[in-house]
Amino acid sequence: MPELYEELGLKKEEYDEIVRILGREPNNVELGMYSVMWSEHCSYKSSKTELKKLPTEGPAIIVGPGENAGVVDIGDGLAVVFKMESHNHPSAVEPFQGAATGVGGIVRDIFTMGARPIACLDPLRFGSLKEPRMRYLFEGVVAGIASYGNCIGVPTVGGDLYFEEAYQENPLVNVMCVGIMPKERLIRGRASVPGSVGVLIGSSTGRDGIGGVSVLASQEFDEKSAQKRPSVQVADPFTEKLEIEACLEMLEKNLLLGLQDLGGAGLTCATCETADRGNCGMDVDISRVPLREPDMDPVEIMMSESQERMFAICMPENLNEVLSICKRWGLNAVPVARVTEGDTLRVLKDGKVVAEVPASSLAKGPEYNRPAKRPGYLDEVNSFDFSTLPEPSDPGQVLKELISCPNICSRKWVYEQYDHMVQINTVFYPGCDAALLRVKGTRKALALSCDCNGRYCYLDPYVGTQIALAESARNVACSGAKPMAITNCLNFGSPEKPEIFWQFKEAVRGLADGCAILGTPVVGGNVSFYNESFGEAIYPTPIVGMLGVLDEIEKRVPSGFQREGEIIALLGVTKNELGGSEYLKVVHGVVAGPPPEIDWDAEIALIDFLTSAAKEGVISSAHDLSEGGLGVALAEASVFTGVGASIKLYHHLPPHVYLFSESQGRALVSFPPEKEGDFAELAERCGVLFKIVGKTGGSVIEVKELFSIPLEELSRLYYTSLARILQGEE
């Protein structure tokens, strides 16, 4: 028979450390509290050492990692709050509720800091849609995101979506949320004044999600773990909408000292983390907690992950007004805790102490230096001989295959289910290089992008992570905005496997080096380990969420060609780089080779050019080159607006390489003929290499001497392929 601590996900050495801290054996309530707080999901015990290497400070950074979300100063007395998190494992069990509660959780992280949530983005990863179960998971996740976001009135404005066999048993559901606030409304999740009161606000507490962070989110799936999966939390977006309004009203009236949401580890996490951040202790009376189910044990109450609950700290003299505001918004609100001096978290039920532990020991948790070993598969995949592959006889047919493949075709089927216009801030809709949101009351706009190609990271996690960072920055810059800061969600397999942990260390190293060069600090994020099933791990998937700021919204640059008769230029250098490309996978069924190289000097020069060109009004459109290379970027820039294009290839590379190479640091832009001199002068000033490749106009996409495809045909393939794949069509 396994010990109780093993059933709860704790190791023998961790249990021994708990005994040492307490000076005695823990009781079942205390053991349950440690099991959730010392889980990988809450304690970051395997990742803390590596995450310390990330740059987290900058002149615009107000709050970095360690709080519920990061905060960036954007001027005009305003601050942007943003963060990304995962709900991978719950979504694999119950896709609708798993995705919905993922949205709810990240939205709470934003208004917990004092900001009004204004947008969500959803990076998603799934296996092949040829499998009925994967179609069920995909459709359920999209429906869950749509239902929750639409109900609370927060638009879903972007994200990214990939389909790879590596995610077949373990899909990824990451969600990023962004909010905005006056800087003076900033509040932290701290209980720092002894005698102050902790108020539990929102939904009642049930048995849903008990042990979710220690069993579901901190273990890989196999037949044994599948038998003890806890129930997935159930979403109630209407309660969350009321919580947003009630909490923001209380903050406007300066009634709160601290605010924390109840997510993973529930009441245990909210109480010990606020106490630890404020260097205080806390007495928690769980007899007062409103329960959804009768006869709940103290350990169930402390571990429950029931959603839509908030924990507010206020002075006793403000308690009645806090309760009155909550009542007016139709919310349960009950004082359940009192902040104390010292470091002790005491849990009481009916006047009896049922748990008594140091709050700091729960909140900080252990810290490991895991062994790391370079995976053996890398030698094989990076030694692939590309010369053995035949050149395509019809590059036009290849373009049609790429434009309709799952990783490139339009995500219209997804984003049409989302309300991306609510709050009327959205300027660039989903499908553009970056989402663009106006900042009301100013001339500013926020540009947002989420990016990561897990295939690149599988082939080289250091370079692949830097590509994710560079692409997110390019996407933001293509809109005209300056990249400012990032959040992230680092999705990996089991950190207890040296090969997986090596991937993680290399990814963090790549992100740290890239962010330092680019000047985009990391203000927070999430690590999701144990993304593997039956011994098979996902591709390493470190998703980067980039925030950019555009000072003058009138200077924004769209992704698609705007009018006929304009000049098309390719910025950057195209190299013979097909490793990890979509061309290689779609045409030859191969995932191999080194990913494209990163040249940070060229990336920074390109970003400088794109932002300067927007400010000076030099270009009419800008579109980042990523999956599918020049051929796909050309087709997309045309189908976005219905403006055709004709280009000629001036290059020593074979046509299929020039068209479908995924070399980094490139963008496709258009500009009026009268701006050609200004364009060339700016490119020289910024140090950007470019080539004039053609002109916009007509009703076809033409690559001279190679192919001409009706724009109508490409548009149909691009916009209808995902729906046809979901319907089981090839």
Bridge partners of residue 83, in order along the sequence: 177
Instruction: Give the single-character DSSP code of 216.
Output: I
Question: How far is Cα 404 from Cα 408, in angstroms, rounded to an integer?
Answer: 7
Question: How far is Cα 527 from Cα 534, in angstroms, rounded to an integer?
Answer: 21
Q: Which amino acid is at 165?
A: E
Phi/psi for 404 (5° steps) reads -110, 5
CA distances in angstroms from 553 to 121, 481, 562, listed in the order given:
21, 9, 17
Burial of 726 (0-12, 13-18, 19+ CB in 10 A): middle
Question: How far is Cα 248 from Cα 424, in angstroms, rounded to an integer?
Answer: 20
Question: How far is Cα 605 from Cα 301, in angstroms, rounded to an integer?
Answer: 55
Q: In what helix (H) or strand (E) does residue 713 lie, and over which residues does it extend?
A: helix 711-726
Structure tokens at 507: 């990814």
Q: In what order do the strands lie in the sheet with 567-571?
A: 621-624, 667-671, 567-571, 690-696, 645-647, 700-703, 707-710
> Angle CA(536)–CA(539)–CA(545) in degrees, nearest 5?
140
Question: How far is Cα 540 from Cα 457, in angstroms, rounded to an integer?
Answer: 6
Lookup result for tokens 């190293």: 509
Question: How far is Cα 620 from Cα 50, in angstroms, rounded to an integer?
Answer: 42
Phi/psi for 713 (5° steps) reads -70, -45
Q: Hey, which residues are catalytic here?
A: 41, 87
Question: How far is Cα 721 from Cα 730, in angstroms, rounded to an integer?
Answer: 9
SS3 content of the chain, % helix, strand, coil (to 5): 40, 25, 35
Which residues touch 191 (CB under 8 Å, ≥6 apart)? 198, 257, 258, 274, 275, 277, 278, 280, 282, 313, 339
Question: Could you give the 3-state DSSP secondary structure of residue 241?
Answer: helix
Radius of gyration of the chain (CA): 26
Which residues touch 695 (CB under 8 Å, ≥6 apart)? 565, 566, 567, 568, 645, 646
Phi/psi for 669 (5° steps) reads -125, 160
Which residues touch 710 (CB under 8 Å, ≥6 apart)? 699, 700
Question: How far is Cα 97 from Cα 236, in angstroms, rounded to an integer?
Answer: 10
Question: How far is Cα 12 from Cα 399, in angstroms, rounded to an integer?
Answer: 56
Which residues touch 527 (CB under 8 Å, ≥6 apart)? 40, 44, 47, 51, 489, 490, 492
Bridge partners of residue 645, in order along the sequence: 696, 701
Check if the beta carbon of residue 355 is closer than 8 Å to that of residue 30.
yes
Bridge partners of residue 669, in order along the sequence: 569, 622
Lookup result for tokens 């940070």: 600
Check if the beta carbon of residue 728 is closer than 8 Å to that of residue 605.
no
Q: Which amino acid is at 536?
A: E
Which residues touch 380 (CB under 8 Å, ≥6 apart)? none
Check if the beta carbon of residue 290 is closer than 8 Å to that of residue 201.
no
Question: Could you give the 3-state DSSP secondary structure of residue 11?
Answer: coil
